[in-house]
Amino acid sequence: MKLIFATNNANKLREAQQILPQYQILSLEDAGIHDELPETHETIIENSKEKAEYLFNKYHIDCFSDDTGLEVEALNGAPGVYSARFAGPQKNSDDNIALLLEKLQGVENRKARFVTYVTLIINGKEHIFEGEMRGTILPYRSGSAGFGYDPVFCPEGYDKSVADLTTAVKNQISHRARSLQKMAEFLNSK
């Protein structure tokens, strides 16, 4: 089965392909789609739905989209829906991490969670799958694997950042992996 993943992010695409090897997962570029997908809502779940609905309504294809946010307890859930552009519209991960560490300097409560919503539209029907990974924000960067906030996020039950974990471990415990695994279970049950 072929599914279009509403992304051109090579890291996200690779994760999805590793988690869903039984499906042919194509990026927007692979599918010849060059549209800028809308993200106009104030919640992660609504942005996930908006991207999938846009693709389905315009191209009538089976597709899925995700939207992810990092929610930090001491920052009242920020950066949340603004995670990718926390430090500005340039969407630079290094800048986002630097700003996050600056805002948490001297803060004891470093509890956080990643949350991902995946919206699947297949045969014209919409299905939503949620995944989360709880943990804490480290006071420093560590590791070279992963992307985004991975170098400063330490998952519950671990003593190192997500960027220090192997891909195999990350693909078992991450927020995106959990939501994609739920989607795979749903697809396999059909």
Q: Which residue bears the tokens 């089976």?
A: 62
- Of 35, 62, 66, 67, which one is the catalytic site residue? 67
Say if CB 65 and CB 7 are below 8 A apart. Answer: yes
| Active-site residue, 94 included | no
Helix (H, G, I), strand (E, B) or coil at 43: coil
d(CA 10, CA 130) in angstroms, rounded, equals: 21
Interstrand relation of 24-26 and 63-72 (parallel, antiparallel or unpaired): unpaired
Q: What is the DSSP letter of 165?
A: S
For residue 172 the two structure tokens come to 């078992």
**Tokens 């590793």 label which residue?**
18
Helical pair 175-188 and 10-19, crossing angle rounded to 10 deg:
50
Residues acting as catalytic residues: 67
